[in-house]
Structure 1
Amino acid sequence: MNCKLRLFALLFLVCSVVPFHARQSRDSIQLSLVTCAPGNEIYALFGHTAIRYQNFTQGVDLVFNYGMFSFSTPHFVYRFVKGETDYQLGISPYSYFEAEYAMRGSSVWQQTLNLTYDEKVRLLGLLEENYRPENRTYRYNYFYDNCTTRARDQIEKCIRGKVVYSAGSPRKTFRSIVHEFTAGSPWDEMGIDFCLGAEADRPIDNRRQMFAPFYMKAFASSAYILGEDGTQRPLVLREEKIVDVEPETEPPFPLSPMMAASLFLALNVLIGWWQWKRRRIFWGWDILLYLSQGVAGCVVAFLFFVSVHPTVGSNWLLWLFNPLPLLYLPVMVYRDMKRKKDLYHWINAVYLTIFIALFLLLPQKFNLTVLPLALGLLVNAVSHVLVYKNR
């Protein structure tokens, strides 16, 4: 009951602003773009954006946050992988918002928007409209429709005229920007790289680059408003750091993805040598190896053919990781146990050789761990062929 009363009071404060705006001083309302530093969780690696609303006359200080979601939503993981995750616009007192990010070790920057009084009221009206129960939920799209792009779009809609942004780097891609924020999280970076396809390596314009909170912050700093009457004014009136904390650091995992992939290659060389020396196939290793490759292939194939996430439908990694090894595994193990030749390994050796030869020529930037993984699979396939010849 107390939660309902607090929510009602919060909504009353928000909704009461527009009807009484005629009685407010022109300096009583302030709206700001808020940018939060990255966190340690994978969904927080890139930072966060929100809009802060302050009404000094009424003593109101709220944050409009387009990044609200719940892990307890039914089938959350499946819907997230498929690209059908729903986010919401939430409202919270600034004191709660500040305490949350201070506690997680994320600093917060505020850019006070240089809006006219009418534009401030219009922006508040847009946020209020977005918060209506029938409007607050939206289909989240990481690159094209997220908490940052939503905040930017509402700011632009309230302005009489248009926002002009400075030129960014024409060589930026979705993947290159992602790598800037995953540099300290190599396992997360590898996982994301395995999901993104060739589309993530195409150059993107300034507007596309604003999917990242800190890129939006940088573009806003140098942007200006071109009014309908031809006048110009900076979009940001002033900028300040409103939460200044030391970021929390977690001890890195002792094994990097490249080290793990290199060990995988070395293990395949060792097992391949043992198979060639003994002239027999270690079929238990085949079960583990091709089961893992097939399961990884199922994930990549699901993203490629089923998911509606952007950029995943152009993933050339499907050449290397697909469900075929999993489907053929029972036949493979049966032939291994019966010591029969299997054409699969001959075809696989040729196939993997072509993939490795074209590694740098394909229109996609692969994570470097793909190379030792592919070499490990190739060594295994070649060892089978050599065993057949020795027999």
Structure 2
Amino acid sequence: MKRAIFISLLSFILFPILSQNFTFSDSARVSLLTCSPGKKVYEKFGHTAIRVNDPVTGIDVVFNFGVFDFNTKNFYLKFVKGETDYQLAVYDTKSFLEEYKNRNSIVWEQKLNLTLDEKRNLLHSLLKNYEPENRFYRYNFVYDNCSTRPRDKIVQSINGRVEYQLFTEPATFREMISEYTGENSWLQFGLDLIFGCDADKTVSRNVSMFLPENLMYEFQAAHIIDPNGAKRHLISESGTLISKQEEKFSDFLPIFQPMFVCTFLLILGIIITIFNNQKSFRLFDSLLYIISGLGGIVVFYLAFFSSHPLVKNNFNLLWLNPLNFVLGILLWFHKMKPYVFYYQVLNCFLIFLALVAYAAGFQVFNPASFPLILLLLLRSVRWTATTKKDFSQKKKNNRAYYTNGNGLHLHTRKK
């Protein structure tokens, strides 16, 4: 909250200065700032901003499209629904760099090789965007974020076109994102659960620049082609403003990683299945289905009601079923056994379809998901077999058959 207030006050102070007939001098410099990832979730992918430094007028400011406020009314609900509004803020470069120094992030600077008219076009566009009625925008993690906005402003101000030269190996959204979150992290595990099959599409060069470091690399190798066909580098000079300080990290114990935890649960489920302790497996299954059901509810909501990209068409819902939550409660009611039986038959079929979807390449599942999938399948098969056996035994115990002299079948309840 303090950060949001500080940025708002600083922006309020700076805006009148910048809006009063400001013009570049010939020595003005415009550059792209790229910040390396931080430790917090919203810092994991880095950051991009535009710096305008004019030594003649003494103005040295940063235009930052990545400002949001956790204390906005219904912030978390809006975030889940994909309705978070970000804003453009302007504050002095010294404050900006100090913040990223405290985060221990690297800050790279790439000076843009723009003509004076192009610089003026860019600044005019930024100031127009900073007007109170224009500064807020609906954030989209992939298609409209703190990296794509600066890129678009720069490209639109150029008299000509930008030609990108960097060769990059084709990659999917999921692969690109996992490079920043870590393949074995809980964050990536969670993202893989909520991401649908759209996350496994190959990303185009233009879209790949939603990641700040990708934008930096692309700009470094890019050229500007003016209307006369003349070619010049987009970046005239590059350097590092802040270097990262050496940190000592303790190795993340593998026992706390998703794969270990999920495998442990699978082994525990196998043991309970083998020893067939009625009380133990009922409690275990109830917790298993309730927790998986809660996860399924989140995934279902994102898939059908959220505006976030990449979360639609999610095959994880085949095994992470929201109805598991209800099942976890019904297990404790003996009269519900017939419903449990039919649901478990359906559940086995859906889990099988999930595995088929993965095998067919429709969607990539996180490796740590498979122990959970096998565990849910194992317990569903066990419940199906046990319940069916109980039905047969009950039918046999409740009926005794004998034939009278007329050949009629009479039924009597066993005493």
Partner of 2:176: 177
Report if aligned partners of 2:300, 2:317 keep a CA contact under 8 Å in 1.
Answer: yes
Please show how residues 177-256 of structure 1 align to structure 2 within 5 Å.
177-183=176-182, 186-246=185-245, 251=250, 252=252, 254-256=255-257
The 10-residue stretch of structure 1 (115-124 or 246-255) with the greater mean CA deviation from structure 2: 246-255
* Aligned twin of 1:267: 268
Structure 1 residue 298 displacement after superposition: 0.4
> In the alignment, what sits opposite 1:299?
298
Q: Distance in 2 between matches of 1:364 and 1:178?
A: 15
Distance of 2:73 and 2:284 partners within structure 1: 37
8 A contact 2:8–2:89 mirrored in 1: no
Q: Residue 11 of structure 1 corresponds to which residue in structure 2? A: 15
Would the aligned equivalents of 1:163 and 1:224 in 2 still touch at CA under 8 Å?
Answer: yes
Question: Which range is displaced more, 176-185 or 344-353?
Answer: 344-353
Offset at residue 223 of structure 1 (A): 0.4
Residue 142 in structure 1 maps to residue 141 in structure 2: yes
SS in 2 for 1:371: helix
Q: Deviations along 1:89-118, whole A, 9 cap, x unmatched?
A: 011111111110001110100000000111
SS at match of 1:32: strand
Alignment-derived partner of residue 405 in structure 2: none
CA, structure 1 residues 331+341, in 2 after alignment: closer, same or farther (shift >3 Å)? closer
Q: In the alignment, which residue of structure 2 is the partner of 1:385? A: 384
1:332 CA drift (Å): 3.3
Residue 313 of structure 1 aligns to a residue in which SS? coil
| Gaps in structure 2 of 5+ consecutive residues | 1-5, 394-415
User: Separation in 2 of the partners of 1:112 and 1:139?
Assistant: 28
| 1:1-391 map, 5 Å | 7=11, 9-16=13-20, 18=22, 20-21=23-24, 24=25, 26-27=26-27, 29-166=28-165, 168-169=167-168, 171-183=170-182, 186-246=185-245, 251=250, 252=252, 254-275=255-276, 278=277, 282-335=281-334, 342-388=341-387, 389=389
Number of equivalenced pairs: 384
Alpha-carbon contact 2:82-2:308 (below 8 Å) kept: yes
Of 324-333 and 282-291, deviating more is 324-333
Structure 1 residue 136: Cα displacement = 0.3
Distance change >3 Å, CA 84–CA 248, structure 1 → 2: farther
- Distance in 1, Cα, partners of 2:316 & 2:174: 15
Q: Which moved more, 1:133-142 or 1:114-123?
A: 114-123
Higher relative contact order (CA 8 A, sep 6+): 1
Structure 1 pair 51–4 and aligned structure 2 pair: CA distance change class (3 A): closer
Give the direction of change, closer, same or farther, for the CA distance of 1:323–1:340 in structure 2 (3 Å limit).
Answer: closer
Partner residue of 2:400? none
Distance 1:78 1:352, change over 3 A: same
Aligned residues of 1:113 and 1:237 also touching (Cα < 8 A): yes
Structure with max Cα Rg: 2
Indicate if the aligned counterparts of 1:31 and 1:52 stay in contact, CA closer than 8 A. Answer: yes
CA distance in 2, matches of 1:375, 1:4: 51
The letter for the 2-side match of 1:216 is L
Q: Tell me, what secondary structure is at the counterpart of 1:312?
A: coil
Name the CA distance, whole Å, in 2 between partners of 1:93 and 1:64. 9
The one-character-per-residue Cα deviations of 1:187-222 (angstroms, maximum 9, x if unpaired) are 111111111111111112110111000000000001
Judged with a 3 Å threshold, the aligned counterparts in structure 2 of structure 1 residues 248 and 184 are, in CA distance, closer, same or farther, namely farther
Cα 1:156–1:331 shift into 2, 3 Å = same
- Aligned equivalent of 2:399: none
8 A Cα contact 1:283 1:336, kept in partner: no
Which letter does structure 2 place at the counterpart of 1:274? Answer: F
Report SS of the residue matched to 2:332: helix
Match of 1:374, SS?
helix
The aligned amino acid for 1:218 is Y
Alpha-carbon distance in 2 for matches of 1:220, 1:342: 59
Q: Distance in 1 between matches of 2:282 and 2:157?
A: 66
Q: Which amino acid aligns with 2:17?
A: L
Question: Contact 1:300 / 1:322 at 8 angstroms: preserved in 2?
Answer: no
Tell which deviates more after alignment, 201-210 or 8-17. Answer: 8-17
TM-score computed with the length of structure 2 as normaliser = 0.86
The alpha-carbon deviation at position 73 of structure 1 amounts to 1.0
Distance 1:379 1:58, change over 3 A: same
Q: TM-score, normalised by structure 1?
A: 0.91
Distance across 2 between alignment mates of 1:54 and 1:133: 23
Shift of 1:299: 0.4
Q: 1:249 to 1:179 in 2, by over 3 A?
A: farther
Amino acid at match of 2:199: A
CA distance in 1 between partners of 2:337 and 2:385 (Å): 17
In structure 1, list runs of 5 or more residues that go unmatched: none
How far apart are 1:258 and its partner, in Å? 0.4
Q: 1:297 touches 1:321 (CA, 8 Å); kept in 2?
A: yes
What do the CA deviations read for 1:4-33 (whole angstroms, capped 9, x no partner)? 986554123322463x44xx3x12x10000
- Summarize the Cα distance change of 1:119–1:311 in structure 2 as closer, same or farther, 3 Å threshold: same
Conserved 8 A contact 1:170-1:203: no
Identity of aligned residues (%): 36
